[in-house]
Structure 1
């Protein structure tokens, strides 16, 4: 597993690379099943069957489009494995094994927009399979080769034939040489006309922000991962943008032709491959692309830069400062941040005091929005425990921290809890949880120590942030059924459910309600996420921020002061509005009608495959051979390594 994870595997999001160095488990407790479609072998267990059957339909739908673009189809059926053994939202393409792993938990990532999960991730990973196999230099059987040298110390005694080895050189010759920006860019582009993933407002925000701050990744920087902050995601983002540029300017077939040229045995230069295909050197192509971006964003942001309104930045350390939540007395606020950490997702819980500007770290590894107890002495949040459960899984659970005792307590086990809110009327906590790709609301009763399921969505609806309106007794939440978030509600009085804000052409999210009844949320109808306020008493409404990055996750205290998360200059910061001024809509974002570009989006893929499944049988891909030639004490020694791993990773064989 580890041998291949960094060599022959590509993932849906970049932080995948620091998930797998941990101890992994093959979960022998699971009873795996299999069914076949025309082009795929689908593997699942009872806890992932719904996802597998929808995923099979997705895979067959997108198969002809991906294979037509690259004029290539896998030689045998591609394996797709659906698993839900950890709170991970990702996918991975093992292109030499010809297999895909899909974690059924849907992606909710602050650097990408919201899209229906399975149609997005399966198309992405299958594009990896096809495009990377197209670029292979020696086929599936030979992933690479090695040139090696062994050196020795000079002998010091007559009875010593060889000195002690003191030099070992091993130079790999990869069987596939595709730079990360191209591999990930083509996977996100998918194929001409695909929109299961698309150039959404978040992607545009990251690229625009880099251009406006003169921080666009160079072509060399795009060629590597291993970056901190938003760096790895920027490789994905910039690669997607450049591949879109190539497809629009030169034709999408040029992506195939570049991969084809990289398959030649001695072609290891992306610059040469680009020049052969487009007639432009890599540097010339990149400079043309950069010039287009600079002119575009300079023109589109001119008005908003002249009329910027963002308030005061309170927290700027780190690249991930999210989910600010006022304390009940309005004197402090909680938020999560990756300050003092390297990666975007390594967030901890902090408390910031307004008057003194002092802050305190409360807990490590906290995800999603925290929730205060009304007395201000307890805060609730979610994180993974330090140790896995008996089967090796690690799920997010509810925790509380008591300020007076300075003590953290774990409240639940295995609940997969996110985004808790406290319900004062019955001292309970409502949270979001995931099972087989569908998300639902659950209620944890402190008094009886039981959990009750409040909703029963089974259509892979993605639920995002939660807010409790104590006046209406509504649970307010974001949800995604296809593209873009809408804002729904669930009444705790009569269990009625509906949508409060629902527009098919733009994203509405992160709704909060002030003590005076004013509604604040974030939307991107103008092409940029900004905060929007609705005053139901006066029937007035309008934008209250105008930023060049993005404004998200507002929270309002009793005085009407607003905290929110501002994306600017390569990271999320905590910003503060002490008063509200509505802004002329004509000055906000790109255009008041920018959302019309979303009118022709394709419908979602919702059908379920009904094929009969059978018990899974062990399945090994062909043995991989990695030839080697070693110069050892004046002798040339040819040889090889061999490697194979069972499709579910239940058995691995390696030798040489």
Structure 2
């Protein structure tokens, strides 16, 4: 019979996140003793500092876990989006670092690279230490495929309608332990430390009887501050284990979890320290309760009770008075689930009500002089032509209720209106470093007015009208200091600089300086008379007080952390607290006197053009129950290190020699992803029939072959457009034998179409 080929060209849209390949990037690479560093022009400074950090912390991590990666670990430095994060792919033995430093209201401020690289490499080593079957076998699968009942005799089986897939992971480490060990890092490491923000979240949960249970600590997927609480609780519990039983117990727990049949962290803990995980948790919980009850005893005697005006949502941040003192602009996640999903709200003091006016706003709102325009930062709705989504500066006209974009791909955030010359200052990030920029609102021309090159973290820009200077928070190692930039003579200096505690969120108005200070172990608002430079605390809270702003009537609005959320609060009349009544202790800051100096050196090794490099070929065995037969097989996959090429496939066979084969190839060197897919399936069937007086043995074989080839285009960051061609052949083979007559048999083959 003539073979029939089916060849078609198709197009369809997939409504899922569209990822961009960034072919515009010219990748470079260099090697150190233990790492391969990959970067491009916009991340070279970050990469070279990061390489120095990685080599410095390397021996401490491998000594704690008594494990060294089999090959050099790849570290990839990205800056294609305004993302602040790191990711450890422990089976691939690679780390991805986004260059932008983290500025997050649920964590304290720490120098970025020394923190994130140590954290991610601790993930690499600790997770590889816990693997049950080594680097090549990430897991296995037991699967079952069910079908509709088929009534036609000429159809093998019905349409598949049920799929059960049970993964047997090659690594079983609960989130609290994985993140806790990464934040613990190693003995005496303080690149990340138990700062006041972390303590605030856990203290608040403890005193409100709202601690995550041992079971809840084992999962992510929570809203509000839930996910961060998993990080926090894990960090504190791992510190508790290290201090109470020795840091080597963290290693022993991971070793026990690497046993092929050990899937219970409860039992792994018991084998390591002699008590179950549940018993350990109760010890830890008791320690927290006793410790915080003692530390907060003084606060409870003299606590301040603010006037809460906004309490819906978990992130009500950066309140800012309008010039007439009758409205408050702030950002809030009141209409959303997750902490970072904030919108711009305006609270009307006369109506006692806040209203959302713009979506997806992320930074401090800043009013113009007459209170008709608010400036803020947000990401554009659609990515630029390369696929990047950066922060930009926008303005919202309250009267017209219209939004206008002021910058394009500026990476600008924390805008600050300057009334004297109708200009706007903002912060922007490049290669992990942050600087201050000035935009003339009339000409729309922008100039860079600082040139910090040491990757210090800058945040919370504000304007001191009385002294014609820009105020901002600055982090060079740990915590924030309050600095200024004079617009008269460009002098940069510190208003407050202390290495041992955090001072942030300054507001200067009506001769008063108000800021948030944590020297007592709790963030509270501190007010100083600018003329006498004398002052004191104006809050004494159990949670934390941040982001103050005072209006012309002496009212102070601020963000108040309490019972798991940031709320907007107002102080109508300012009263001072004796510093001995505030926080844990007036000398609590002394616990920070021995912090390690920052790492800001660079490795200047010669670099070269990056050439494709691949991870291991990963194998995942599978057992499948399919149409009442047992199939054995495997999945396999491998990725190019910077994800420029991916392969994925699988194979399975049963006792009837039915084959299921597939192979998927993705090539990402160009703007569209080039992909090819191959599928090959066979089914074998034997039937015994009667024809007249003859006994027949029929052997049937069906073969499906399909090739797909196409291009996948990202669609404005919202989905993907696929253009592809597909070739199919569905062929049947029949071989019939007459059992009663020796040597009498015949066969044929034909195609379905």
Same fold (TM over 0.5): yes
**In the superposition, relative to structure 1, how do residues 489 and 636 fare at CA in structure 2: closer, same or farther (>3 Å)?**
same
**Are residues 1:612 and 2:606 paired?**
yes
Per-residue deviation, residues 298-354 of structure 1 (Å, max 9, x unmatched): 111011112111421110000000000000000001000000200000000000011
Runs of 4 or more, structure 1, over 4 Å off, are none
Structure 2, gaps ≥5 residues long: 1-15, 651-753
Q: 1:113 aligns with which of 100, 108, 129?
A: 108
The CA distance in 1 between the partners of 2:350 and 2:556, in whole Å, is 16
Aligned equivalents of 1:371, 1:627: Cα separation in 2? 57
CA distance in 1, matches of 2:87, 2:620: 22
148-157 or 31-40: bigger deviation: 148-157
SS of the aligned residue for 2:396 comes to strand
Distance in 1 (alpha carbons) for counterparts of 2:249 and 2:21:
40
User: Deviation at 1:368?
Assistant: 1.2
1:585 is matched with which residue? 579
Asked if 1:512 corresponds to 2:502, the answer is no
- How much has 1:166 moved relative to structure 2? 3.4
Cα distance in 2 for partners of 1:432, 1:556 equals: 23
Take 1:187 and 1:363, find their aligned partners in 2: how far apart are those partners? Answer: 37
Q: Pairwise mapping of residues 442-591 of structure 1 onto structure 2 (< 5 A)?
A: 442-514=437-509, 516-591=510-585
State how 1:58-137 maps to structure 2 within 5 Å.
58-137=53-132
Count of residues in correspondence between the two structures: 636
Match of 1:392 among 382, 387, 401: 387
Shift of 1:154: 4.0
Counterpart for residue 321 of structure 2: 326
Does 1:222 pair with 2:217?
A: yes
- Structure 1 residues 50-95: Cα deviation after superposition (integer angstroms, max 9, x where no partner): 0000000000000000001001010000000011110000000011
Q: Aligned to 1:509, what secondary structure does the other structure show?
A: strand
* Mapping of residues 375-414 of structure 1, within 5 Å: 375-414=370-409
- Displacement of 1:446 in angstroms is 1.6
Tell me by how many angstroms 1:159 deviates: 3.2
Change (3 A) 1:367 1:455: same
Residue 369 of structure 1 aligns to a residue whose secondary structure is coil
Aligned partners of 2:483, 2:412: CA distance in 1, in Å? 19
Q: Secondary structure at the match of 2:200?
A: helix
Kindly state the Cα deviation for residue 536 of structure 1 after the two structures are TM-superposed: 2.8
Say whether the 8 Å CA contact 1:26–1:648 is kept in structure 2: no
**Shift in Å, 1:155:** 4.1
Distance 2:44 2:84 in 1: 17
Deviations 1:475-501 (A, max 9, x none): 010000000100000000111111110
User: What is the distance in 2 between the residues matched to 1:85 and 1:181?
Assistant: 30
CA distance in 2, matches of 1:311, 1:540: 23
Deviation digits for residues 533-584 of structure 1 (CA, Å, limit 9, x no counterpart): 1113244210000001000000000111100001100010001001111101
**Comparing 152-161 with 125-134, which one deviates more in the overlay?**
152-161
TM-score (structure 1 length as normaliser): 0.96
Which position in structure 2 is the counterpart of 1:5?
Answer: none
Aligned to 1:361: 356
Map residues 282-297 of structure 1 onto 2, 5 A cutoff. 282-297=277-292
- The equivalent residue for 1:179 is 174
Residue 140 of structure 2: aligned partner: 145
Q: Structure 1 CA distance, aligned partners of 2:412 and 2:429? A: 8
- Say if 1:316 and 1:572, in contact at 8 Å, map to a contact too: yes
Superposition deviation, residue 471 in structure 1: 1.4
Which structure has the highest strand share of the two? 2
CA apart distance, 1:167: 2.9
C-alpha distance in 2 between matches for 1:202 and 1:294: 18
Gaps of 5+ in 1: 1-20
Quote the Cα distance in structure 2 between the aligned partners of 1:627 and 1:220: 30
Task: Determine the structure 2 residue equivalent to 1:4.
Answer: none
Q: 3-state DSSP class of the match of 2:250?
A: helix
CA distance in 2, matches of 1:547, 1:472: 31
CA distance in 2, matches of 1:214, 1:152: 49
CA contact (8 A) 2:366 2:416 kept: yes
Q: Which whole-Å deviations, capped at 9, do the CAs of 1:608-649 have from their partners, x for residues lacking one? A: 101000000011111111111112233221111111111111
1:430 aligns with 2:425: yes
Shift of 1:360: 1.9
Given that residues 406 and 444 in structure 2 are in contact (C-alpha distance below 8 angstroms), is that contact kept between their aligned partners in structure 1? no
Determine the C-alpha separation between the residues in 1 that align with 2:47 and 2:552: 47
Higher Cα Rg, which structure: 2
Output the CA distance in 2 between the equivalents of 1:32 and 1:529: 43
Whether the 8 Å contact between 2:86 and 2:96 is mirrored in structure 1 is yes
CA distance in 1, matches of 2:149, 2:423: 75
Instruction: Return closer, same or farther for 1:310/1:419 CA change in 2, 3 Å cut-off.
Output: farther
Q: Does 1:651 align with 2:661?
A: no
**Structure 2 Cα separation of the partners of residues 179 and 251 of structure 1:** 20
CA RMSD of aligned residues (A): 1.1
Q: Tell me the secondary structure at the aligned position of residue 134 of structure 2.
A: coil
Any residues of structure 2 matched to 1:6-21 within 5 Å, and which?
A: none
2:260 is aligned with 1:270: no
Partner of 1:349: 344
Deviations 1:576-621 (A, max 9, x none): 0011111011110000000000011111111110100000001111
- Aligned: 1:595 with 2:589: yes
Distance 1:592 1:157 in 2: 84
Aligned equivalents of 1:66, 1:559: Cα separation in 2: 55
Q: For the residues of structure 1 that align with 2:224 and 2:62, how far apart are their CA atoms?
A: 35
